[in-house]
Structure 1
Amino acid sequence: MSQTTPPLPKTLPIFPLAGVLLLPTGTLPLHIFEPRYRNMVTDALGSGRLIGMVQPRQPEAAFPAGSVDDFEAVYPTGCAGRITDCTETDDGGFMISLNGLIRFKIARELPLEKGYRRVHPDFTGFLRDLEIDLDNDPQFGARGGAGQDRILSVFKEYFSLKGIEADWSELVEWPETALVAALSMMCPFGAGEKQALLECTEADERTDLLVTLMEMAVLGGRDGPDTDTRVTRH
């Protein structure tokens, strides 16, 4: 763990958000406006600045009315992110940026705190996330050969299908880990597909899955939900 990495907490607030994926090294902008999540951000800013992003299995079940001990309503694996930027809005909410730090499994859900959900996170299976060093990660363009040509071709076809704008001369200079994380987060895949990308154990496995999902979309020619139509590195 680097000196800039905050200590891993025993208790973590979670933010169930449908169709939203956070990965280690990724940056996720969020507009926080609901009172319970304003409370969550305020508390996080005062204690480590970490929030866990999780996907609900069904959007309407993300905040169950029943026992909070039953966390089956959300996927059991999420990603903790550190608040690196926070601006208060005129309506009393926040605009925040979360930098993906480390994935976790939900070991146990705790009673509600000021309206938001909290868990005991288990980080033990994901400690390698803390070792990612983008400064020493090879650029995507350094992959070279037929493998890179195939991946780049699929990326371009998928972007054309979805109407996404990108500067390919810039993207090939990104660290491959950061590029794959950014594309996995911003592309309009389904919840199950995003969860599969989150749970990949190796970087190459995530790259292969991302390419496969894009190939399936291109071959099917199906439209996905609206997405941000620009790719930028934060």
Structure 2
Amino acid sequence: MAGQPMFPLQSALLPGESLPLRIFEPRYSQLVADCLAMTDPTFGVVLITQGREVGGGDARSDVGALARITEYADHGMGQYELKAVVGERIRVLEWLSDEPYPRAVVEPWPDEPGPAVTPERIGVVIDKILVLFERILATRGGRLRFDALAVEPEIADNPSLHIYALAARVPMGQADRYAVLAAPTLSGRVDALTDAIETVTAMVEFQIANGDDE
């Protein structure tokens, strides 16, 4: 069983994000070489919950996404520079051997059925993010750009992609990003994102109240 090549990271990546990587560790050099030999050069990305990216021995989450290599430069001696785009969400069914690099049996995990997410509900999320951004910028003497949360029409027309795109712009911690990614339904993802925005807003207000706006 070959399994899907996997790249555990210390970030919870969301569909639609770009992923730049510099590769030098031998096992990931082999992973990249094998992916580039594929018709569709993809690898899975998951959040490391304990440990580090380099050296192995890490604990990994079971929800992640597929990343597709779109650009690369081979610098020789197993060193690569990559640009990948994060795509569909996946769920890890079984981790396989880490030799020659991490691999897993995975399945696509589209949003499960749940309550509909209306444009009005997305609008409420957008308003909360804009209020947060304005609060942060006001402490620094900046002004919010009118297109701060603009997205491409094809993303705006897809509620699932739209919520991922909005979440990617909120300066939240990795645990909150993972909660957004791992929510089974789109409605649950909106709830997770709303909770994250409120957490970040509370942190910003605390910093402002204590005179720490750096």
5 Å-filtered alignment, 1:73-84, equals: 73-84=59-70
CA contact (8 A) 1:151 1:211 kept: no
Inter-partner Cα distance in structure 1 for 2:125 and 2:166: 18
Larger strand fraction of residues: 2
Q: Give the match's secondary structure for 2:96.
A: strand
Inter-partner Cα distance in structure 2 for 1:43 and 1:88: 13
Equivalent in the alignment of 1:135: none
Letter in 2 for 1:192: A
Equivalent in the alignment of 1:172: 150
Task: Could you tell me which runs of 5 or more consecutive residues in structure 2 were left unpaired when the two chains were aligned.
Answer: 113-117, 208-214
Shift of 1:162: 9.8
Equivalent in the alignment of 1:196: 179
Cα root mean square deviation, aligned: 3.8
Q: How many residues align?
A: 194
Q: Give the match's secondary structure for 2:48.
A: coil
Equivalent in the alignment of 2:82: 96
The superposition leaves residues 15-36 of structure 1 with CA deviations (integer Å, 9 ceiling, x where unpaired) of 1111x12222322222222221
5 Å-filtered alignment, 1:25-64, equals: 25-47=16-38, 48-60=40-52, 63-64=56-57
Do the aligned partners of residues 178 and 147 (structure 1) sit closer, same or farther apart at CA in structure 2, a change above 3 Å counting?
A: closer
Larger radius of gyration: 2
2:1 aligned with 1:23, yes or no? Answer: no
Equivalent in the alignment of 2:4: 12
Equivalent in the alignment of 1:228: none
* Percent of aligned positions that are identical: 26
Inter-partner Cα distance in structure 2 for 1:165 and 1:203: 31
Inter-partner Cα distance in structure 2 for 1:162 and 1:107: 46
Equivalent in the alignment of 2:131: 153
Comparing 146-155 with 91-100, greater Cα deviation is found at 146-155
Inter-partner Cα distance in structure 1 for 2:74 and 2:141: 32
Q: Give the match's secondary structure for 1:213.
A: helix
CA contact (8 A) 2:95 2:105 kept: yes
Shift of 1:37: 1.0
Do the aligned partners of residues 155 and 89 (structure 1) sit closer, same or farther apart at CA in structure 2, a change above 3 Å counting?
A: farther
CA contact (8 A) 1:158 1:215 kept: no
Q: Give the match's secondary structure for 1:121.
A: strand
Do the aligned partners of residues 149 and 111 (structure 1) sit closer, same or farther apart at CA in structure 2, a change above 3 Å counting?
A: closer
Equivalent in the alignment of 2:105: 120
CA contact (8 A) 1:158 1:214 kept: no
The superposition leaves residues 160-205 of structure 1 with CA deviations (integer Å, 9 ceiling, x where unpaired) of 6799997442533443455542453465533322211111233443
Inter-partner Cα distance in structure 1 for 2:151 and 2:6: 34
CA contact (8 A) 1:76 1:106 kept: yes
